[in-house]
């Protein structure tokens, strides 16, 4: 209350109340969702699991959604989307995240190597629609591969907490047992929920209940009496495509999909990737001009030595949104052309169609 007082605002001008209050408590800012790391552990050599306790700005999320997490590395703020894997109920005041490292990944390796209890991170509001429907079907199949286990686990934990009494199957792929996440907890959930079948598959190792990569036989193995299940899949593009194909061939409803990596650019875009246009990209604030090419603006700017912020690089997290002052861009995923008026464009999925002016 005291912090909202106009007198406090006047006394702290020009920096604002938050600049001073965060010196006392880094979570006390009013304009950002911040969270303190309360626990960190390593399930595998290539992952880190941690728990965040968010400040009062956080108001919970639906299972399966993601948040944009920001960290400061060498003085630069980097943002990436991550899907908390806790149940909806626990996510009201605690978020559990599991991040798998990329060999050259900046944020995932920082989190694996540097994260310690007590550190404070910044989060966005939750986003995404990889969530449970209001009316639950009587069969649900959750399929995941690698780090894609996180939103699937959030859905599973939520269903178990709600005492979902339909038939539930959880299929999870990893390279080998050494990379398999949440092994003990999944075994325990299966033991305590008679309606749940958990099946693991190892694509480069032995010992799983399922052999090889996903195929319709894996679905029948976990749900022998297939009626009309709702499938959810999160993982690499090839797994998503395989589940979509299986559902089509088995006459089932299309699966709900979440991908952590771009599902592939349209062919035409790849073909014209480096095609130079007779056009210029003008960067208003830095006063630079670049020769425009028919490829995502983010990549062209990076090629020119600029480092615009990015998160997902696939058009979903909005981290790269930048004001276009003039010109037309094409969305490389949908093919839609923008108008020529001023608006925000996502650099990672926008390719110029002619002269362009950006607020950079
Ligand atoms: C909705 C959503 C939810 C997600 N949830 C999770 C989750 O729960 N757990 C999880 O582990 N991950 C999750 N991810 C993935 C996560 O957001 C990051 O992509 C991942 O952690 C890698 O980030 P990084 O900074 O470590 O890697 P980056 O530094 O971004 O690099 C990632 C890869 O891209 C390559 N790369 C980087 N820059 C370029 C460039 N300029 N040109 C070409 N290639 C480049 C790198 O070599 C590397 O292999 C999610 C992604 C999305 C979209
Ligand atoms: S980086 Fe996520 S929308 Fe562009």
- Domain coordinates of the chain in residue numbers? 22-123, 139-258, 267-358
Task: State the CATH architecture for 22-123.
Answer: Beta Barrel (2.40)
pLDDT band at 333 (very low <50, low <70, confident <90, very high): confident
What distance in angstroms lies between residue 298's CA and the mean position of ligand 2's atoms? 9
Ligand approaching nearest to the C-alpha of 105: 1
Closest CA to 247 of 223, 276, 268, 265: 223
Q: What percent of the chain has pLDDT over 90?
A: 79
Residue 151 pLDDT: 98
Least confident of 16-30, 167-181, 288-302, 331-345: 16-30
> pLDDT tens digits for 233-259?
999 999 999 999 999 999 999 999 999
Model confidence band, residue 20 (pLDDT cutoffs 50, 70, 90): low
Judged by average pLDDT, the poorest of 10-24, 52-66, 217-231, 322-336 is: 10-24
Ligand 2 center to 79 CA (angstroms): 10
- Per DSSP, the three-state class of 10 is helix
Whether the CB of 255 sits within 6 Å of ligand 2: no
Interhelix angle for 149-161 vs 183-192, to 10°? 30
* CATH number of the structural domain 267-358: 3.10.20.30
pLDDT of residue 207: 87
150 within ligand 1 shell (Cβ under 6 A): yes
Overall average pLDDT of the 256-267 stretch: 70
Give per-residue burial for 221-248: e unless 16+ CB within 10 Å, then b. bbbeebeebbbbbbbbeebbebbeebbe
Taking the CA atoms of 101, 104, 106 and 111 in sequence, report the sign of the dihedral they define: positive
Determine whether domain 139-258 maps to CATH 3.90.950.20: no
Residue 173 pLDDT: 97
Sorting pLDDT into bands at 50, 70 and 90, what band is 22?
low
CA of 98 to the centre of ligand 1 (A): 13
Residue scoring higher pLDDT (13 or 263): 13
The share of the chain scoring above pLDDT 70, in percent, equals 90
Structure tokens at 256: 């709900």
Lowest mean pLDDT among 25-39, 78-92, 202-216: 25-39
Ligand 1 site-directed mutation target among 107, 127, 318, most atoms within 8 Å of CB: 107
46 Cβ below 6 A of ligand 1: no
Ligand 2 center–CA 81 separation, angstroms: 9
Cα separations (Å) of 320 from 53, 176, 282, 310? Answer: 27, 35, 17, 5
Contacts of 207 (CB under 8 A, 6+ apart): 177
Higher local confidence (pLDDT), 4 or 354: 354
How high is the pLDDT of residue 28? 73
Residue 99 tokens, joined: 């991040």
pLDDT tens readout for residues 87-137? 999 999 999 999 999 989 999 999 999 999 999 999 999 999 999 999 999
Per-residue pLDDT at 148 exceeds 80? yes
Residue 275 pLDDT class (50, 70, 90 cuts): confident
pLDDT recorded at residue 2: 54
Instruction: Give the Å distance between the CA of 167 and the centre of ligand 1.
Output: 33
């Amino acid at each position: 209350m005291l912090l909202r007082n106009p007198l406090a605002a006047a006394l702290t001008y020009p920096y604002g109340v938050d600049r001073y209050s965060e010196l006392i408590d880094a979570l006390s800012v009013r304009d950002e969702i911040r969270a303190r790391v309360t626990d960190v552990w390593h399930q595998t050599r290539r992952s880190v699991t941690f728990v965040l306790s968010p400040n009062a700005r956080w108001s919970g999320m639906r299972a399966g959604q993601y948040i944009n997490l920001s960290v400061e590395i060498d003085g630069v703020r980097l943002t990436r989307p991550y899907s908390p894997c806790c149940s909806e109920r626990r996510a009201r005041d605690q978020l559990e995240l599991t991040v798998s490292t990329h060999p050259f990944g900046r944020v995932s390796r920082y989190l694996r190597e540097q994260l310690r209890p007590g550190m404070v991170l910044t989060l966005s509001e939750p986003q995404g629609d990889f969530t449970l429907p209001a009316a639950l079907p009587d069969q649900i199949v959750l399929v995941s591969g690698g780090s894609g286990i996180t939103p699937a686990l959030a859905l599973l934990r939520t269903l178990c907490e709600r005492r979902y009494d339909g038939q539930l199957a959880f299929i999870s792929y990893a390279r080998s047992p050494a990379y398999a996440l949440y092994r003990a907890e999944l075994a325990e959930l299966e033991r305590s929920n008679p309606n749940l079948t958990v099946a693991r598959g190892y694509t480069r190792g032995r010992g799983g209940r399922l052999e090889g990569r996903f195929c319709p036989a894996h679905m029948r193995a976990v749900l022998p009496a297939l009626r009309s299940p709702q499938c959810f899949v999160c993982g690499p593009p090839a797994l998503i495509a395989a589940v979509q194909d299986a559902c089509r061939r088995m006459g089932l409803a299309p699966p709900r999909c979440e991908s952590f990596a771009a599902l592939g650019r349209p062919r035409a875009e790849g073909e014209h990737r480096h095609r130079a246009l007779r056009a210029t990209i003008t960067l208003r604030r830095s006063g630079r001009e670049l020769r425009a090419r028919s490829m995502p603006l983010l990549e062209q700017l990076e090629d020119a030595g600029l480092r615009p912020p990015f998160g997902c690089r696939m058009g979903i997290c909005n981290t790269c949104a930048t004001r276009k002052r003039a010109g037309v861009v094409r969305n490389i995923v949908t093919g839609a052309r923008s108008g020529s008026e001023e608006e925000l464009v996502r650099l990672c999925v926008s390719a110029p169609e002619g002269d362009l002016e950006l607020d950079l």
